[in-house]
A and B are shown apart, each in its own frame.
Chain A
Amino acid sequence: MFEILKRQEMADGTVVLNEISAPLIAKKAKPGQFVILKANETGERIPLTMAEADPKKGIITIIYQIVGKSTALFKSLQVGDKFQDVIGPLGKPTHLEKIGTVVCVGGGTGVAVMHPITRGLKEVGNNVIAIIGARTKDLLILEDKMTAASHELHVCTDDGSYGHHGFVTDVLKEVLEKEDVKLVVGIGPVPMMKFVCKVTEQFKVKTLVSLNSIMVDGTGMCGCCRVSVGGKTQFACVDGPEFDGHEVDFEELMQRLQAYTAEEAAAYGKYKGECKLA
């Protein structure tokens, strides 16, 4: 079980795609849901969104950015290797309904999370405008898939090396000025989601964001993933991961994501040292 069937490096090797054999999960997975993976006996439980799920072949796809020890360890796994544990599908699926024009804004690895939602929104009959961005051209992922999943795609890079020179929020503003947008979905780094919400607030357009708080079990039993939404504490793993962006306390989320900065740096440093020795 949980064998890696395909492995692909993206964005200059900073992002990796794995197709994993997980028939039971693939059968149940819906856009917006995630899995928790553990590589080996000593590993950590890491939540990652399913970028794709093929119930016929029994395969799920994850796309992850290498940011620390655990994702670096995942990156080291090759085709034929297995994850010891994969748990899911977890979280509430995205509510997909026909409402008119929707804008899907994805930044960085968030584009991978955004892709199945974009496709789902198109499949139920919405007019889908997608905006994706990255720091620079080489870090952009899934442009072709996002083109297919939407009716209109805008690409932005912070350094202007490709597409629009600037942030996704600049393009978002332009679209909101021109079109009668019913819903915006924003997924990416927390600061990006926060700014997307700032923009859409001015236009009074409902906005969904997907929150990546730190998790342990993913089933609502520990409260590690708690976030403040509309002044109330919610558990991202069971009440989310998608929430009304205008209600989310992003400052608190950003702080809580820093809970283990020192430990993470130490673990990653030790791991890199061991890899050099090996």
Chain B
Amino acid sequence: MAEKKVKKEKIPRQPMPEQEPDVRRRNFNEVPLGYSKELAMKEAERCIQCKKPTCISGCPVSIDIPAFIKLIKEGEFTKSIRKLWEKNGLPAVCGRVCPQEDQCEGVCVLAKKGEPVAIGNLERFVADLEREHGTGELPPKAKPTGKRVAVVGSGPSGLTVAGDLTLKGHDVTIFEAFHKPGGVLVYGIPEFRLPKEIVFSEVNFLERLGAKLECNAVVGRIVSIDELFEQGYDAVYVGVGAGLPRFMNIPGENLIGIYSANEYLTRSNLMKAYLFPEYDTPIAKGKNVAVFGAGNVAMDSARTAMRLGADVVRIVYRRSREEMPARAAEIHHAEEEGIEFYLLTAPTKFIGDENGRVTGMECLKMELGEPDESGRRRPVPIKGSEFQLECDLAVIAVGAGANPLLTQSTEGLELNRWGYVIADPETGKTTKKGVWAGGDIVTGSATVILAMGAGRAASDSIHQYLTWGW
């Protein structure tokens, strides 16, 4: 008995094999390579199957984590993926991009004494296995209800709503402004972190279920929400994301070679500019790159610049390491790939040459003062600490705001003072009858799993509405 327990604790957390840093920093292939069945089963064995599992409370969509892990341990992979699907329609995505250290793994009991179970890695493993080797069998679908639902935006929240409501028998059409579906999963998060083939296979699954997809449809331009109702839609879900780039509003920001992260990543990911000239969209290939901000978006931009051939890539961030909002794995990967961190540094202006191309910037050193509204210590400039940094490419990744294109053209849809849609956190109901909203356009930039959770809540409420009324 005692012997067995000791043995169990001895299995260390199984690392996922990865491409070597100095190889991967110059290619766009995915960095972690995935678990084999053996590795996954070994890792699954580390889970002690708590009676009161804390990990579930850490997951925003309450996946029955011990249950899906137990099924992996037993080699019941198909049953395991079904367990995941009960709560999460995009496990291959979440396993890769969730901030597990702040969620499920952060509260895993093993984390108290050592390393938590690699929940994200296991989630990814079963989802990949199903995608690559599963039967592709469709889940049972309810009888057609004759009700029509329009979903605006095909990011994780819109896809979740579309999947849920299609299964419940409603006739769902997704409207997407871009020429490809997936939202940030496709235009923002790079191939080396989330292969696009995974997202398209999820969308394809929804289409096989019977959901319809209209790309190139900018709602608010080609059709308004009121016109959707006139066309016979019974409910509308708004999941348009936080698609407004934020700039720093410092002099010189319109010089050539200064991108918003949205533009830089959209060119590279959605337009495949990293494959220029095979693909027609160009992208500036900087040798000496500065990226402002320290979230996932900044890490993605910095690592993209490195892969496009930069000699030096610097993350310039006005706070310290502790405040960096990116996932731990991204910061770790970025460092391994040779990205430099200029912390407690804020740019004050950009400098350009006679052709209007950026050549560098002026910066100030910062120190941390009293905590601000966000609870983080406020960076305060140190007098006389000005210095110059050279760069031939700069990417601004200091956050995003609410894109007003749809929201401000929709009568009766109330917005808060930052332009985000006001929606009931429990149901996603907005102030306009028949309209729900969720994801980044309600909360501001957040996470994939929170956007999906909001989509799930809204689809339950929409289903109720379509069945019983508002």
Can you identify 19 A-B contacts, CB atoms within 8 angstroms? Answer: A24-B222, A43-B280, A44-B281, A45-B179, A45-B271, A86-B216, A87-B177, A88-B221, A216-B281, A219-B177, A219-B243, A220-B404, A222-B260, A223-B263, A224-B259, A252-B356, A259-B284, A263-B277, A264-B282
B53, CB-defined interface residue at 8 Å: no
B267, CB-defined interface residue at 8 Å: yes
**B266→A216 contact, CB < 8 A:** yes
5 more CB-based (< 8 A) A-B contacts, given A85-B216, A224-B259: A24-B222, A220-B404, A222-B260, A222-B263, A223-B247
Q: Which residues, 165 to 208 on B, are CB-close (under 8 Å) to A?
A: 177-179
B403, CB-defined interface residue at 8 Å: yes
The one of A28, A238, A256 that contacts B256, using a Cβ cutoff of 8 Å:
A256
**B281→A220 contact, CB < 8 A:** no
The 4 closest A-B pairs by CB, nearest first: A255-B356, A263-B282, A221-B243, A222-B263
**B278→A42 contact, CB < 8 A:** yes
Closest B residue to A43 by beta carbon equals B280
Given A217-B178, A226-B254, A259-B256, verify A25-B266 contact (CB < 8 Å).
no
Instruction: Report how far A166 CA is from B294 CA in the complex, Å.
Output: 55
**B245→A221 contact, CB < 8 A:** yes
A175, CB-defined interface residue at 8 Å: no
Q: Which residues of A contact B267 (CB under 8 A)?
A: 216
The one of A38, A73, A256, A267 that contacts B254, using a Cβ cutoff of 8 Å:
A256
Instruction: Report how far A87 CA is from B243 CA in the complex, Å.
Output: 17
The one of A42, A219, A251 that contacts B218, using a Cβ cutoff of 8 Å:
A219
Report the count of interface residues on B (CB-CB < 8 A): 38
A109, CB-defined interface residue at 8 Å: no
B residues apposed to A, CB below 8 Å: 177-179, 215-216, 218, 221-223, 243-245, 247, 253-254, 256-257, 259-260, 262-263, 266-267, 271-272, 276-282, 284, 355-356, 403-405
Instruction: Report how far A226 CA is from B252 CA in the complex, Å.
Output: 13
Report the count of interface residues on A (CB-CB < 8 A): 43
A84, CB-defined interface residue at 8 Å: yes
Instruction: Report how far A85 CA is from B218 CA in the complex, Å.
Output: 13
**B280→A42 contact, CB < 8 A:** yes
**B263→A270 contact, CB < 8 A:** no
Q: Which residues, 183 to 235 on A, are CB-close (under 8 Å) to B?
A: 216-217, 219-224, 226-228, 233
Instruction: Report how far A270 CA is from B263 CA in the complex, Å.
Output: 25
- In angstroms, how far is the closest chain B Cβ from the Cβ of A64? 15
**A267→B356 contact, CB < 8 A:** no
**B271→A90 contact, CB < 8 A:** no
The one of B177, B179, B272, B280 that contacts A70, using a Cβ cutoff of 8 Å:
B280
A142, CB-defined interface residue at 8 Å: no
**B222→A28 contact, CB < 8 A:** yes
Q: Which residues, 1 to 44 on A, are CB-close (under 8 Å) to B?
A: 24-25, 28, 38, 42-44
**A85→B403 contact, CB < 8 A:** no
Q: Which residues of B contact A42 (CB under 8 A)?
A: 272, 278-280
**B222→A25 contact, CB < 8 A:** yes
**A89→B221 contact, CB < 8 A:** yes
- In angstroms, how far is the closest chain A Cβ from the Cβ of B413? 18
A79, CB-defined interface residue at 8 Å: no
A266, CB-defined interface residue at 8 Å: yes
Instruction: Report how far A220 CA is from B177 CA in the complex, Å.
Output: 11
**A260→B260 contact, CB < 8 A:** no
Given A42-B279, A228-B254, verify A219-B247 contact (CB < 8 Å).
no
A69, CB-defined interface residue at 8 Å: yes
Q: Which residues of B contact A76 (CB under 8 A)?
A: none
The one of A38, A88, A227, A258 that contacts B355, using a Cβ cutoff of 8 Å:
A258
The one of B178, B221, B253 that contacts A28, using a Cβ cutoff of 8 Å:
B221
Q: Which residues of A contact B259 (CB under 8 A)?
A: 223-224
The one of A25, A28, A88, A221 that contacts B403, using a Cβ cutoff of 8 Å:
A221
**A216→B222 contact, CB < 8 A:** no
Instruction: Report how far A223 CA is from B262 CA in the complex, Å.
Output: 8
**A224→B254 contact, CB < 8 A:** no
Query: Interface 1/0s, chain A 238-256, versus B by CB < 8 A?
Result: 1000000000000110011
